Structure 1
Amino acid sequence: MRTRFLAIAALVMAFAAAIQLWWDVEPVTRVDLTRRAEVKAPEAVPAITYAYLPQYSHSTSYLRHRALVEYLQKATGLAIRQVFPDTFEAHRRMVERGEIDISFSNPMTYVLLAQSGAQAFAGIVEPSGRATFRGQVIARADNAAIRNEQDCQGKRWIAVDPYSAGGYLFVLGHFRDKGLTESDFAEIAFAPGPGGKQEKAVLGVYAGRYDIASIREGTLGIVEGKVDLSALKVVATTREYPSWVYAARKGLDPDIVRRIADAMFALSENDPEQERILAAAGMRGIIPTTDRDYDPCRELFTKLRLDPSKVGAE
C-alpha cells in the first residue's frame, strides 16, 4: 500500500514539474486594453438596377425577366438587381434620378428618357421574328356594332397608359389616320396601376365596362388562361414601329454598358438554355441599336402634336 502511494506521489510531482517547465519557457503576452484599432466593414458593391417598364403585373415582369437577369449577372460578373416601378411615370422618373441604370421600355417612353440623357444601346427581336411591333384595337366578339375603326366613334375606349406605345400612342396615331380624334370618343380611360395595365385594359373590355381597348401586339397571348380569348376580337392593327429598347441612364459607366450589351448580343436561340431565357422574356434575340433608330417615334409625337416632355402630365 505504501509502495503504491509513493508511486502515485512521484507521478504527480513529475507532472507538476513538467507544467512548471512549460510555464517558464512559454512567453507571456501582455494585452494593452487602452489601445484601440477601428475595424471598418467592407462596403457593399452597389448593384446595377434593371427595370422592365410595368406594362404587366410585377409578378409577370419578374417571371419574364428573372432568368435573363440571372444570365446577365453570370455573364458579366456584375451584381444586377431587378426593380419594379409601379407606373410608367415612376419608371421614367427613376431613370432621370439615376435609380434605374438599365431601362427596358417601349420606344415612345425611350424618346422621353432620351431627353434626360438616357442612351439606347439594344433592341429586341419580337416573337414574330421582327424588330418591330404594333398596337391593336380589341372589342368583345359578340359586339356586332364594332367591326372597324369608324365603328369605334362615340365608344368608350380604355387605353393602357398615356406613355404606352402599342397600348395607346400607336393606336391614337392610327385613329388620326382614319380621321378620328380624341374628341370623337365617348370616353378615353387609362388602366389603373400599379402594374398589370395591359391585362387590365383587356379585362375592361372582356367585362363589358368599355367598348374597345388598345393593347400592344402579343398581349392576348399573355392573358390567355385568364380570359376566354374566343370572347374577344381584333378590330384594327396599327403600322409597325421599332420594338422595345434597352437604354442606359445618363452617366452610367460605359464599360458596364458594354459588358451588359455584349452579354445580351451573345444570346442565341440555337442554344437550348439561352432560347428558354429569351422565350421567357418574350423575345427571340437582342440586337444593337442607336438613338436614331427611334426617329419614327419622334415623328409620331409630331403627328399627334404632342410635346414628349408633357405626355402624361396632369
Structure 2
Amino acid sequence: MNALESVKTRCPYCGEEIRLLVDASAIIKQNAGFKAYLEKSLHRKIELIVTTDYSSMIEAMRRGRIDLGYFGPLSYVMAKSRSDIEAFAAKTKNGSATYHAVVIGNVAAGVNSIEDIKGKDVAYGDQASTSSHMIPKSMLVAHGLKWGVDYKEHFVGAHDAVAMAVQRGTAQAGGLSQPIFESMVKKGLIDPAKVKVLEVSKAFPQYPWAMRSNLDAKLKIDVKKAFYALNDKGILKALKAESMVPITDHDYDVVRDLKKDLGL
C-alpha cells in the first residue's frame, strides 16, 4: 500500500503547509481487518507496509522486499518493466473495475476551461501517478497544451495536496483521481464554489494488486482465491471497494500506450 507518512507536508514550490487526508499509521489501522482476513485465509503472518511514494514501492517490489503490492496503473506498469510481477486483482466500484481522473481549476483565477490553463501553474501529485499525473497531462495535451511550454508543472506529492493547492490558488489548475476529489468535496475539505471540475477523463483500469511471479505456485492460487472470495462488507468498505475481481497484465496496455505517447 502506498501513502505519504505524515498528515502534514509542504508544497515543494510554494512552501505552504498542506494537510493530507491520511498517514501510514492510519492506513495500517484502517486495514487491520483485511490483514486478519489474509492471515486466516493464507495461514501465515502478514505485515502491512506503507511506502513513502511510488518509487520506493517499485524498488521494494523489484528487490523482493514485498510480496504483494497495491499499485497505481502507471506505477504498476513501471514496476512490471523492472521486475517479475503480475497483476491479479482490482477492486470494483459501482459495478465496474475502472475509474476516472479530473482536471480542476481555481474559479477566482478565471480558470473555467482547460484552455484557460495556458500560462498558468498546474499541480500534479506523484510523477508515477496515473490519475494525478499521466491522465490529466494527456487531457491537457488533447487540448493543445504542452507542459513546460504552455504551462508550468509542479509535483506536490499526493492527490489531496493537488486539490488543496488549487483551492488556495498556489496552483491555478491540477489533476487528480475523481473519487478522491469527490471525497474531499463531500468531507468539506474542498469548496466547489472555489474549485471547478474542468473535465472528466475516460475510464481507465482500476489500481491493481500485484504479486511477485516467483512466489510458490500454491500460495499464488491461495492469494487469488482469498482476494476473489472477499465479501466482508467492513473490510471492503475500508478498501473502498464493492468486491475484488480478476485482472491481468494486458488490462494495463492502455496505460503503457499512453505512457509511450507522452514520452514519460
Structure 1 residue 124 corresponds to structure 2 residue 91: yes
1:156 corresponds to which residue? Answer: 121
* Residue 247 of structure 2 is aligned to residue 289 of structure 1: yes
**Structure 2 residue aligned with 1:111:** 77
Shift of the 64–177 alpha-carbon distance from structure 1 to 2, 3 Å rule, reads: farther
Which residue matches 1:312?
none
Aligned to 2:256: 298
The residue number in structure 1 matching 2:40 is 74
* Secondary structure in 2 matching 1:182: coil
Aligned partner of 1:53 in structure 2 is 2
**CA apart distance, 1:209:** 1.0
Is 1:136–1:238's contact at 8 Å kept on the other side of the alignment? yes
AA at the equivalent of 1:121 = F
Relative to structure 1, the CA distance from residue 212 to residue 288 in structure 2 (aligned partners, 3 Å threshold; closer, same or farther) is same
Superposed counterparts of 1:214-229, under 5 Å? 214-223=175-184, 224-225=186-187, 227-229=189-191
Bigger Rg, structure 1 or 2 = 1
Runs of at least 5 residues in structure 2 that lack an aligned partner in the other structure: 5-21
Query: Structure 1 CA distance, aligned partners of 2:213 and 2:74?
Result: 18
Cα deviation, residue 293, structure 1:
1.3
What is aligned with 1:208?
A: 169
Among 161, 165, 168, the residue aligned to 2:130:
165
Gaps of 5+ in 1: 1-51, 269-273, 307-314
Q: Structure 1 pair 235/291, CA: closer, same or farther in 2 (3 Å)?
A: same
| Deviation of 1:96 (Å) | 0.5
Q: Secondary structure at the match of 2:123?
A: strand
Match of 2:197 among 234, 242, 247: 234
Displacement of 1:119 in angstroms is 0.8
C-alpha contact 1:102 1:246 (8 A) present in aligned 2: yes
What one-letter code is carried by the residue in structure 1 that aligns with 2:86? Answer: Q
Is 1:246 the counterpart of 2:197? The answer is no
Superposed displacement of residue 65, structure 1: 2.8
Report percent identity of matched pairs: 22
Matched residues in 1 for 2:101 and 2:182: separation? 14
Distance 2:90 2:246 in 1: 6
Does structure 2 retain, via aligned residues, the 8 Å contact 1:53–1:106? no
1:180-206 per-position Cα deviation (integer Å, ceiling 9, x unaligned)? 1113444211114xxxx1221111112
Displacement, 1:226?
Answer: 6.0
* Deviation, structure 1 residue 139: 2.3
Q: Is the 8 A contact 1:63 1:280 kept in 2?
A: no
**Structure 1 counterpart SS, 2:103:** strand
Which residue of the partner structure matches residue 29 of structure 1?
none
User: Structure 1 runs of 4+ off > 4 angstroms?
Assistant: none
Q: Deviation of residue 278 (structure 1)? A: 0.7
Q: 1:59 to 1:217 in 2, by over 3 A?
A: farther
Matches within 5 A, 1:80-119: 80-115=46-81, 116-119=83-86
Q: For 1:83, what is the secondary structure of its paired residue? A: coil
Q: 1:222 to 1:66 in 2, by over 3 A?
A: farther
Change (3 A) 1:142 1:67: farther
| TM-score w.r.t. length of structure 2 | 0.86
User: Aligned equivalents of 1:228 and 1:294: distance in 2?
Assistant: 31
* Separation of aligned partners in 1, 2:98 and 2:3: 19
Matched residue, 1:46: none
**CA RMSD of superposed structures (Å):** 1.8
Tell which deviates more after alignment, 97-106 or 213-222. Answer: 213-222
Please report how far the alpha carbon of residue 120 of structure 1 lies from its aligned counterpart in structure 2 after TM superposition.
0.9
